[in-house]
Structure 1
């Protein structure tokens, strides 16, 4: 009797991760009799190619059709050839449909990396809408998660950033957040897949590349192995804490906020009676939800001081908003133009 060769451990790890993710998201299938569609965001690199192979194998066994979208950012010479090679490998794996989407990246306000990411996700979401896909699978790994957490720490951007890359958001599902980059590369080799090596991943002008090639290896050398796994666990715990705080804010927000004639009125009594972590989240939520403004830590603390350390100061100006303390409330109003012009008028 012929025995099957043993499954390579890295291939098994990638398939198990995809299977667990698809089973957990079974509710995304909807009520259609037809098998739902999941599309893989495929760059042609080892991570996304390993994801495409795992999804092609596991998807139909879990009741999913699987396709792929290859986004060509046209930022490098030969990008069209890279996209086509990725498409050829996707079709060989049995993915259908396979689409190459050419996008225009405009980096006037955002940096090139952020602008490319924005264009990529826009293209993925547009294709999902056209094709009726229920899920978009991206290949962020445990190593990506560790790098994201370190970058968040370096920026001092708080618990939300420390929570790293979420495992799912909207249509986006990230099955590989527990899979290492070593595993994705080994899975490609074991399945005779030919990943593309992105030269941007070696360009140390990018902070993420410096973290990957310098900072994490140094931490591993000085503090011992397992740093990436520990950072990923930190992100998971931070996400749990952030989710709990979000739920508390959602419960409080209706008791705190009133729409006043001049703007948004927020109860001083409720703000002062809650811990700083909740108070700051409430302030940031009002600024973002009502005015579309993302407050820095310094802006948040300046507004919070009107509650906890008021000595007659004010008004406080933050991007697009003026905040004053008035009659037992903080009053948030939209600020158009410079604060100096507003004060002199």
Structure 2
């Protein structure tokens, strides 16, 4: 059994579809921060896919109280994934980081002069006792969008990624 982190965007919807097609048990986790007008649309996309294919789904609606939103959101979602993995008896979570994310992370680390054991993103890492795998690191975002379109997989586009409000977005748009 694998736990899939699924936002409803093209990366995670492609991952969900690819993993479903390989067989084996899947459990899906979605976090709806309700921070943007299309957040409920993305949740509906994930819900519909799970209902259509008979997949278990857990959704979290966290409440943001201030501070660095990106860091808070990351901690909230990984804590949620960890709890759900334990409830479901799952030891591995798959996340849809892809090649563009890997490069953005590397640039982010270099710009901040971070000293890291590993630059970019590892294929496999751990958070507490949970194994995290990133099987899409060889795919580009454009390739995953094309996969979804070719396979009839619905996805939403997070418009907050289109602006430069966050450092990662500025790096993404400048690459």
**TM-score, normalising length from structure 1?**
0.47
Q: Relative contact order (alpha carbons < 8 A, sep ≥ 6): 1 or 2 greater?
A: 2
Q: Write the mapping of 1:84-103 to structure 2, written as runs, cut at 5 A.
A: 84-92=44-52, 94=53, 96-103=55-62
**TM-score, normalising length from structure 2?**
0.90
State how far apart, in whole Å, the 2-side matches of 1:140 and 1:201 are: 15
Partner of residue 197 from structure 1, selected from 152, 157, 170: 157
The equivalent residue for 1:53 is 17
* Superposition CA RMSD, Å: 1.6
Q: Write the mapping of 1:3-42 to structure 2, written as runs, cut at 5 A.
A: 37-42=1-6
- Contact 2:9–2:42, Cα closer than 8 Å, also in 1: no
Secondary structure of residue in 1 paired with 2:136 = helix
List runs of 5+ in structure 2 lacking aligned partners. none
Structure 1 residue 77: Cα displacement: 3.0
State how far apart, in whole Å, the 1-side matches of 2:151 and 2:27 are: 19
Structure 1 residue 167: Cα displacement: 1.4
State how far apart, in whole Å, the 2-side matches of 1:107 and 1:49 are: 29
Partner of residue 144 from structure 1, selected from 79, 101, 106: 101
- Contact 2:7–2:46, Cα closer than 8 Å, also in 1: yes
- Contact 1:39–1:137, Cα closer than 8 Å, also in 2: yes
Structure 1 residue 135: Cα displacement: 1.3
- Contact 1:135–1:173, Cα closer than 8 Å, also in 2: yes
Q: Do residues 167 (structure 1) and 123 (structure 2) align? A: yes
List runs of 5+ in structure 1 lacking aligned partners. 1-36, 217-345
The equivalent residue for 1:134 is 91
Q: 1:42 to 1:143 in 2, by over 3 A?
A: same
Secondary structure of residue in 2 paired with 1:169 = strand
State how far apart, in whole Å, the 2-side matches of 1:78 and 1:159 are: 35
The equivalent residue for 2:32 is 72
- Contact 1:87–1:99, Cα closer than 8 Å, also in 2: no
Q: Judging by fraction of residues, say which structure has more helix.
A: 1
Q: 1:180 to 1:81 in 2, by over 3 A?
A: closer
State how far apart, in whole Å, the 1-side matches of 2:89 and 2:116 are: 35
Q: Do residues 104 (structure 1) and 86 (structure 2) align? A: no
Q: 1:117 to 1:95 in 2, by over 3 A?
A: farther
Q: How many residues align?
A: 171
- Contact 1:41–1:124, Cα closer than 8 Å, also in 2: yes
